[in-house]
Amino acid sequence: MTLPSLTPPTYQDVVAAAERLSGVAHRTPVKRSAHMDERLGAKLFFKCENLQRTGAFKFRGAYNALAQFSDEQRKGGVLTFSAGNHAQAIALSARLLDMPALVVMPEDAAHSKMAASREYGAQVVTYNRHTEDREAISQQLARERGMTLVPPFDHAHVIAGQGTAALELLQEVPDLDYLFVCLGGGGLLSGSLLAAQALAPRCKVIGVEPETANDAQQSLRAGHIVRIALPQTIADGAQAQALGELTFPIIRDHAEDIITVSDQQLIEALRFFAERMKLVVEPTGALAFAGVQAFSGEDDGAKLLQGERVGIIISGGNVDLARYSRFLAD
CATH of the domain at 222: 3.40.50.1100
Is 230 in the same domain as 98? no
List the domain range (segments joined by +) for residue 121: 59-149
Please write the tens of the pLDDT for every residue from 69-86: 999 999 999 999 987 899
- Are 294 and 265 within 8 A, CB to CB? yes
Flag whether 2 is in a domain: no
Residue 323, in any domain of the structure? yes
- Residue 162 is inside which H or E element, if any? helix 156-172
pTM: 0.94
322 belongs to a structural domain: yes
**pLDDT above 50 (res 1):** no
Provide the mean pLDDT of the chain.
94
Closest CA to 164 of 139, 123, 199, 124: 199
Angle at CA 329, nearest 5°, toward 326 and 330? 85
Query: Percent of the chain at pLDDT above 90?
Result: 85
Domain ends where: 101, 133, 149? 149
Query: Which of 47, 58, 192, 296 is the catalytic position?
Result: 58
Asked whether residue 187 falls in the same domain as residue 317, the answer is yes
Instruction: Specify whether 195 is located in the same domain as 324.
Output: yes
Is 43 tagged catalytic?
Answer: no
Is residue 165 a part of any domain in this protein?
yes
Annotated active-site residue 93? The verdict is no
> 92 in a domain, yes or no?
yes
Mean pLDDT of 33-41: 95
The reply to whether 6 falls in a domain is: no
256-285 pLDDT per residue, tens = 999 999 999 999 999 999 999 999 999 999
Pair (179, 107) in one structural domain? no
